Amino acid sequence: MAGKDLDALAKGLAEEQISRGTALKRVGATLLGGLLASIPVAAFAAPRICLTCACGVGQPCNVKSQVCTEQRGFPSQDAACAAACNQAGFKFCGGVVQTHCPKGCPA
């Protein structure tokens, strides 16, 4: 797909009466735009959120502990809590409490 885009750009530049400098600027801008578009900034731009997750055992889930985990964008709150509870040796019972925590989870 990138080859077709580059071919279309080259053809468009060849048909226009433009200077080499202008052509190089357009090619550079296209390459820079593609590079910047490939960087996932949404996760870095998102504020730090702390999730307090209810973790437990049994069926239905019997809450035994609460785990705090940080989240910035992805994954979803439930997926982040499920991973944090699993790491602590429990399963996620639900009941996510979300708070803004610029300094991270409280100790």
pLDDT digits (tens, 9 = 90+) for 62-87: 999 999 998 877 778 899 999 999 99
- Of the candidates 26, 88, 98, the one whose C-alpha atom is nearest the C-alpha of residue 57 is 88
Output the tens digit of pLDDT for each of the chain's 107 residues.
566 666 776 676 566 676 777 666 666 666 555 555 555 544 455 677 899 999 999 988 999 999 999 887 777 889 999 999 999 999 999 888 989 888 888 76
The reported pLDDT for the residue numbered 43 is: 47
- Return the structure tokens found at 50: 């702390």
- pLDDT given at position 95: 84
Whether the bond between 60 and the residue before it is cis, its omega within 30 degrees of 0, is: yes
Could you tell me how far CA 15 lies from the centroid of its own chain?
40
Report the pLDDT value the prediction gives residue 23, as an integer from 0 to 100: 64
The whole-angstrom separation of Cα 32 and Cα 26 is 10
Contact at 8 Å (CB) between 71 and 80?
Answer: yes
